[in-house]
A and B are shown apart, each in its own frame.
Chain A
């Protein structure tokens, strides 16, 4: 007997671990569906400033590394539109026969993922393909600029660095030595004051690299707000850089200090700003850019389902994803019940919180889940009130047990009607109330009323509180949306729960409540011992 427990517990832990490892390592399934947050509803509207203009052009995001675009829509009645997709960027042009008086717009749904290059090797490239050569174009500098940059180069480069190191050294300088300040817009100003606008910092960076024969370009982009930021109504273009190392473009942001990383909040509008600088200058075109987060914390279950079924393994058969959607929804909810039971076991057997029976807290949790927490609590307290009616009114009538319970049942239904008439459910944000609570609640009231009679108000209220606390604790499990999806995707984790339950079941130590119960006893015995 003694040896059996560790074996069983071991098995209960090993089985799901083995399955999880097999799924992730052998079948190469991810253990969770892909999260699809950071999808943006993107919107641009433009209008040329020149009232006589018959066309207007503006860069639009182009699908590529870390950027997915769907549901593209171009608006502008009576216009011809033209999308010019060159190597990295896209320009959208609206053409009209008459002067443009109205705004035209472009919308799309955009999914951004971060692009990170972790390892940047040394680069000694000396010859570049033709299409890259334009990014080596030397800027035209004034004599003052020339002198200032030369001075700077002497200070930051030693000579003999490979191109990756040049890119890095220039990055450190521009990022750390030049403070971001939109008022300083020329290279000389920036170098003499140590302050520069994002654009001038990007320019300086590109120039420094090009002078060392490293291809570099300025990127026009939007920096989208984080989930924690307040939403931005209208977005402004800002600038970052890209440098061509080891045959690929690497993202650099000298303003926010990213080297080799483009975060998923960076939406690149155009990869070669110098090329479109004139076209989109504020003097030429009025534009409004909006981007709103579309979905948050949703998981792409459909894709995952396909993925699971494609594997054609044993797991495709036991995966809950293959079930019809309504059944899936049920399991989504009930898979957390064993976890709730785990909470209950800890609360009762390790802590020693009293509850009404074993199932009341679990059922109450499900009721909260079906309606809402606030409504659930309200309903529960109304039910307690009915329990008091039973205790103080029905008791006096000396009814037989079954008719008496039936009266309670009827009262519960009356309560449901009152709730429906007064719109209380909507008030508390509950969607609907099923048949579910009626019978449970009736049984609960009976127990409650008996306990009031036998154990008195104080004990009953303690138990009531215990029941509520545990229900709310298990209900809070449902608010961790991650937990639901984890259990749904990997239901074998129920074995873990069982393993833990066996361990709790084997616990013979004290309950926390006993520490309080026997506290006085110990104090008294000690006192006697010293006296």
Chain B
């Protein structure tokens, strides 16, 4: 059987992920809490989980008229669809530009300039549901732009990295950091060619990096060695991830965390259907770890205790 090796290495496949983990452990009624970023933000606020500040949300096309007024005094911001996925539909404005006549334009993190009309068009696309998971009309979030933690300076091109932690029943299972490249257009999206670097749960050090399916040793744009990067505030990162389980009660959860220079780790977004590429980044299968938790993971522990157990196991 050609799948023998996959099974031996404990690789988690899509069917298994859905059938055994997502359908079993994630209650459908809790999905909106993670799919809708406005709802996530409200819940996170109540639980004291730090997230980027939402400046305002746009729900009606009519509100687009007020856009120049709303952004005129901002330095930078991010436009996001509330129900987006995989980083689609996100525009990062790193600078709001004004010419002599008072016309506003925007410099994106990639360096491209967008005028007001382009931004309006983009937001109206979000509102009509172009980027939403379901295709239904959506809300646009205008959010605080997160600055990059200096530790990543040599590891990124164009955008900011995020740390993905898979959390099963509240226990951190596996983790990676996603580093943007020129190919990924500055997005921390593995499909588009961002680097995925597996992180050792015990000490927060990267130990292996891949682009798509191939192992890489150096960042293709900065030339920096990818292994041995120590993620700052590692304990806090894991504890934040573990707490998200208590917050949304999804048993199989992808937690995306960004590291800020001043606030430490903050929650970027949650994912109820996290992808499987994390296994490639870590060169390890998820199945043995998930089963260990199912068999030996005690219930009723605090986030801190769960993190400690995970770190002793994995």
**Contact assessment for B279 and A518 in the assembled complex, using a CB-CB cutoff below 8 Å:** yes
Asked whether any CB of chain A lies closer than 8 Å to the CB of B20, the reply is yes
Q: From A447, which residue of chain B is reached at the shortest CB distance?
A: B135
Bound CA–CA A527/B89 (angstroms): 39
**Contact assessment for A525 and B13 in the assembled complex, using a CB-CB cutoff below 8 Å:** no
Given the interface pairs A401-B125, A401-B130, the reply to whether A521 lies near B15 with Cβ below 8 Å is no
**Contact assessment for B279 and A515 in the assembled complex, using a CB-CB cutoff below 8 Å:** no
**Contact assessment for A398 and B118 in the assembled complex, using a CB-CB cutoff below 8 Å:** yes
With both chains docked as a complex, state the minimum distance between the C-beta of A327 and any C-beta of chain B, in angstroms: 33
Bound CA–CA A521/B277 (angstroms): 10
Pick the contact of A525: B2, B61, B129, B283 (CB < 8 A).
B283
With both chains docked as a complex, state the minimum distance between the C-beta of A25 and any C-beta of chain B, in angstroms: 39
Looking at B86, B125, B284, the one whose CB has the most chain A CB atoms below 10 A away is B125
Interface set, chain B 1-40, CB cutoff 8 A to A: 2-3, 5-7, 9, 11, 13-16, 19-20
The interface residues of chain B, by DSSP majority, are classed as: helix
Asked whether any CB of chain B lies closer than 8 Å to the CB of A510, the reply is yes
Given the complex, which residues of A lie within 8 Å of B19, measured CB to CB?
506-508
**Contact assessment for B15 and A515 in the assembled complex, using a CB-CB cutoff below 8 Å:** no
**Contact assessment for B118 and A510 in the assembled complex, using a CB-CB cutoff below 8 Å:** no
Asked whether any CB of chain A lies closer than 8 Å to the CB of B121, the reply is yes
Looking at B7, B121, B129, B214, the one whose CB has the most chain A CB atoms below 10 A away is B121
B-contact 0/1 string along A488-524, CB 8 Å cutoff: 0000000000000000001111110011011111101
Given the interface pairs A398-B117, A509-B16, the reply to whether A520 lies near B128 with Cβ below 8 Å is no
Given the complex, which residues of A lie within 8 Å of B124, measured CB to CB?
400-401
- Range for the number of chain A residues in contact with chain B: 20 to 34
Looking at A398, A511, A515, the one whose CB has the most chain B CB atoms below 10 A away is A398
Pick the contact of A510: B6, B121, B191, B284 (CB < 8 A).
B6
Q: From B122, which residue of chain A is reached at the shortest CB distance?
A: A398
Looking at B15, B124, B192, B279, the one whose CB has the most chain A CB atoms below 10 A away is B15
Q: From B121, which residue of chain A is reached at the shortest CB distance?
A: A398
Asked whether any CB of chain B lies closer than 8 Å to the CB of A229, the reply is no
Bound CA–CA A524/B285 (angstroms): 13
Given the complex, which residues of A lie within 8 Å of B13, measured CB to CB?
508-511, 514
Given the interface pairs A518-B280, A521-B279, the reply to whether A510 lies near B215 with Cβ below 8 Å is no
Pick the contact of A514: B14, B117, B127 (CB < 8 A).
B14
With both chains docked as a complex, state the minimum distance between the C-beta of B67 and any C-beta of chain A, in angstroms: 14
Q: From A443, which residue of chain B is reached at the shortest CB distance?
A: B135
Asked whether any CB of chain B lies closer than 8 Å to the CB of A377, the reply is no
Bound CA–CA A21/B118 (angstroms): 67
Asked whether any CB of chain B lies closer than 8 Å to the CB of A450, the reply is yes
**Contact assessment for B125 and A511 in the assembled complex, using a CB-CB cutoff below 8 Å:** no
Bound CA–CA A226/B312 (angstroms): 77
Asked whether any CB of chain A lies closer than 8 Å to the CB of B304, the reply is no
**Contact assessment for B6 and A522 in the assembled complex, using a CB-CB cutoff below 8 Å:** yes
Given the interface pairs A398-B117, A510-B15, A517-B213, the reply to whether A525 lies near B9 with Cβ below 8 Å is yes
Q: From A456, which residue of chain B is reached at the shortest CB distance?
A: B192
Given the complex, which residues of A lie within 8 Å of B121, measured CB to CB?
398-399
Bound CA–CA A454/B129 (angstroms): 14
Asked whether any CB of chain A lies closer than 8 Å to the CB of B88, the reply is yes
Asked whether any CB of chain A lies closer than 8 Å to the CB of B120, the reply is yes
Given the interface pairs A524-B215, A525-B283, the reply to whether A509 lies near B15 with Cβ below 8 Å is yes
Bound CA–CA A456/B124 (angstroms): 22
Asked whether any CB of chain B lies closer than 8 Å to the CB of A455, the reply is yes
**Known contacts A517-B213, A521-B213, A524-B215, then 8 further A-B pairs from the complex at CB < 8 Å, ordered by chain A residue:** A401-B128, A450-B130, A454-B86, A454-B88, A456-B192, A506-B19, A508-B16, A521-B283
Interface residues of A (CB under 8 A from B): 349, 352, 398-402, 450, 454-456, 459, 506-511, 514-515, 517-522, 524-525, 528
A-B contact pairs, 25 of them (CB 8 A): A398-B117, A398-B120, A400-B61, A454-B88, A506-B19, A507-B19, A508-B16, A509-B3, A509-B15, A509-B16, A510-B11, A510-B13, A510-B16, A511-B13, A514-B6, A515-B2, A517-B213, A518-B6, A518-B9, A520-B214, A521-B11, A521-B213, A521-B279, A522-B11, A524-B283
